[in-house]
């Protein structure tokens, strides 16, 4: 029996002309079996290939409610998916921010059944992540993270409307959705799967991924504060060693030039206080970043219906 709840499918698109139609057919056919009502929202992040032309001329898609958000310029996965979430109206929202189809399509239903068990966010993740850079990023994030949930690679996720509302109530701009979700305080579940094949996927430009990674580590973890405190303590030890050396010279047989001892003690003490003050300032700045993010958000050109 089909579910009567309205479902939104938000799909990120950037130069995927060779895989977008096949991907849409698979997820739409599976969704059609499960739900009476659903909408497909495709966020085109200023693709430079023929992805949009293929979507508009695809006969298969004409019978469904398909909306295309045209981003004004390439803005990356996070801002593009935020635009899709803003436009979505479903009780539950599937987020497909990658078109890698190395999972069994039945996981679309399995994730929905799982969220009905009382969860607000259910992620579908591969058992292993092949990218070394991703492993490195997640390891650093999880080590310094303040959340009990661990961040990891996933293929898609399903969200309740409450999870979306909670996330946007925390911040006007969501720098990194996955980090925001695990810090939302809501129940999260992860469904693991074994990859059935290897696929390549064209995604956002690398400089945007790097910027998102850095912003995430600064905002959602204690990494910046830990680094500043470590450096401050190292410099403090250096200044204390200078103090000890100064006292050793002062009480030694060889008397230094008059005034040298007091100047060195003053400089050492001053720098020690400066380093500790910098650490405190960095901590306050990190708190401000957590509370108030930049208000600037995505810029979209238009919304089309096919």
- Which tens digits make up the pLDDT trace of 227-261? 777 777 777 777 777 777 777 776 766 666 666 66
Residues 94 and 108 sit within 8 Å (Cβ to Cβ): yes
Instruction: Give percent of the chain above pLDDT 90.
Output: 45
Query: Model confidence over 157-201: pLDDT tens digits?
Result: 999 999 999 888 876 666 788 888 988 889 999 999 998 765 555
For residue 167, give the nearest of 225, 226, 82 by alpha carbon.
82
The beta-strand segments (E) located in the chain are 3-13, 35-44, 66-71, 92-96, 121-126, 156-160, 188-193, 300-305
Residue 168, CA distances (Å) to 83, 89, 162, 174, 180 in order: 12, 15, 10, 7, 9
- DSSP H helix total and E strand total for the chain: 10, 8
Better-scored residue on pLDDT, 45 or 213:
45
- Report d(CA 267, CA 171) in Å as an integer: 43
CA separation for the pair 187, 121 (Å, rounded): 7
Q: Which H/E stretch holds residue 285?
A: helix 260-291
Model pLDDT, residue 222: 74
**Averaged over 282-290, what is the pLDDT?**
65
Q: How far apart, in whole angstroms, are the C-alpha atoms of residue 117 and residue 164?
A: 18
Model pTM score: 0.75
Most confident range, picked from 94-108, 202-216, 222-236, 271-285 = 94-108
Do residues 82 and 298 lie in contact, with contact meaning Cβ atoms separated by under 8 Å?
A: yes
Read off the pLDDT band of 294 (50, 70, 90): very low
| Sign of the torsion formed by the C-alpha atoms of 124, 128, 131 and 132 | positive
Of 105, 77, 107, 61, nearest to 11 by C-alpha is 77
Strand order in the sheet with 92-96: 188-193, 121-126, 156-160, 92-96, 3-13, 35-44, 66-71, 300-305
* pLDDT, tens only, 36-69: 999 999 999 999 999 999 999 999 999 999 999 9
Neighbouring CB atoms inside 10 A of 33's CB total 11
Q: What are phi and psi of 157, to 5 degrees?
A: -150, 155
Q: Which element (helix H / strand E) includes 287? A: helix 260-291
């Amino acid at each position: 029996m089909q579910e009567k709840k309205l479902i939104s499918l938000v799909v990120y698109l950037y130069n995927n002309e060779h895989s977008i139609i096949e991907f849409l057919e698979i997820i739409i056919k599976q969704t059609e079996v499960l739900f009476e009502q659903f909408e497909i929202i495709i966020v085109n992040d200023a693709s430079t290939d023929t992805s949009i032309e293929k979507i508009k001329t695809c006969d298969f898609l004409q019978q469904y409610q398909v909306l295309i958000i045209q981003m004004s310029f390439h803005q990356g996965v996070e801002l593009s998916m935020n635009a899709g979430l803003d436009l979505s109206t479903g009780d539950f929202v599937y987020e497909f921010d990658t078109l890698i189809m190395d999972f069994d399509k039945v996981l679309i239903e399995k994730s929905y059944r799982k969220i009905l068990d009382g969860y607000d966010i259910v992620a579908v993740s591969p058992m292993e992540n092949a990218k070394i850079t991703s492993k490195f990023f997640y390891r650093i994030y999880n080590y310094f993270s303040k959340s009990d949930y661990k961040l990891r690679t996933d293929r898609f996720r399903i969200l309740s409307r409450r999870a979306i509302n909670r996330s946007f109530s925390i911040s006007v701009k969501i720098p990194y959705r996955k980090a925001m979700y695990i810090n939302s305080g809501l129940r999260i579940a992860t469904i693991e799967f074994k990859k059935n094949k290897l696929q390549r996927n064209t995604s956002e430009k690398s400089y945007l991924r790097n910027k998102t990674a850095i912003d995430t580590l600064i905002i959602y973890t204690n990494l910046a504060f830990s680094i500043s405190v470590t450096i401050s303590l190292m410099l403090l030890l250096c200044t204390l060693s200078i103090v000890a050396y100064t006292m050793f010279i002062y009480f030694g047989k060889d008397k230094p030039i008059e005034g040298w001892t007091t100047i060195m003690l003053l400089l050492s003490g001053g720098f020690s206080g400066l380093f500790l003050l910098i650490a405190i300032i960095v901590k306050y700045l990190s708190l401000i970043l957590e509370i108030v993010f930049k208000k600037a958000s995505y810029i979209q050109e238009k919304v089309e219906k096919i």
